[in-house]
Each structure stands twice: as C-alpha cells, then as structure tokens.
Amino acid sequence: MATKYHNLSEYDANTLPTAEELAGKKFAIIVADWNDNVTHALCDGAVETFISNGISEENVEIYHVPGTFELTFAASKLQKTGKYASIIVIGCVIQGDTPHFDYVCQGVTQGITQLNAEAVCPVIFSVLTTLTMQQATDRAGGCLGNKGVEGAVTALKMVKIFGNIK
C-alpha cells in the first residue's frame, strides 16, 4: 500500500522478467469507470509500465466495467479464458456517509482473494479504498505515485516467479 513514507511507483527494473521471459505473454487490465478521473490515471500508469518493460501494446487488453464491485465478475470470466499471464483489477472506492463503502470494499476484496485461491492466473488488486478524493488522486499519479504502476510491476513479478509453472 502506498503511504506518505513509501512511494510504490519506484521499482528496480532488474527484478522484473526479461523480454524473453515475457515473449508472447498477454495481460488484461479491468478498469472500473466509477471515479474515472482516478481509475483511468491508474490504468495509464499500468499500461505505460508494461510498455516500458517490453510488453507490446497488442498484448495488453483493457476492459471497462461500471464500478469496482463488477471487477470480480469480469476477472473471473477473463481468468477462465486461460489467455492471460496476469490480470490487474483497477478501481477506486471513496468512503461516504453510508456503509456502502464497507460492502463494496469487502465484496471485491473477498472476490479477488477467491479468484487467486483458484490459481488460474494471478489477479492483481489495484483498488484504492480511500477516505477522500484527495487521497485517491495522490495515489493515481500524484505525490504518492501511481498504484497502477505498482499493479503492473506486481503482475510482471508474478510472471517471473510463476510463469513456467503449470
């Protein structure tokens, strides 16, 4: 998690897979369009990170869903295709005055955890759960980096670790 003490957008590219290890691998990014000023910036960070680390644009597929809660369904469907080395889910839930925040955050967290336990391919959790819009924008390319970058780095590291395991 990005904090004011640690910017997770900074990483050592030497810890990531080589171009040979990534050859032919496809990645999916599922983006919730709710709070799109934040989620689209996170998606841009993820795409830029993939490209700067040798993934061609054709091997990064982006899917849009209405909100964060729908990320689990979309990830489940894409995971079952067997097409992707990793899937990143990107969303942003900002706490309001009702318990809706708690239900959405808990539901998507449990859903993505379940998909990872099923081990078809890793699903990377790049969902911001913040108290304010400012906290979200700080983590979407602002003063605390871009959690989309972190998601792409995590996806690449998971491929490096588990890419050849069937």
Report the catalytic residues: 100
**Residues belonging to the chain:** 166
For residue 72, what are the CA distances in angstroms to 5, 9, 32, 89?
Answer: 30, 24, 11, 8
CA distances from 125 to 19, 24, 108, 166 (A): 24, 23, 9, 22
Q: What DSSP character marks residue 68?
A: G
Q: Give the contacts of 95 (CB within 8 A, at least 6 positions apart).
A: 101, 129, 130, 131, 132
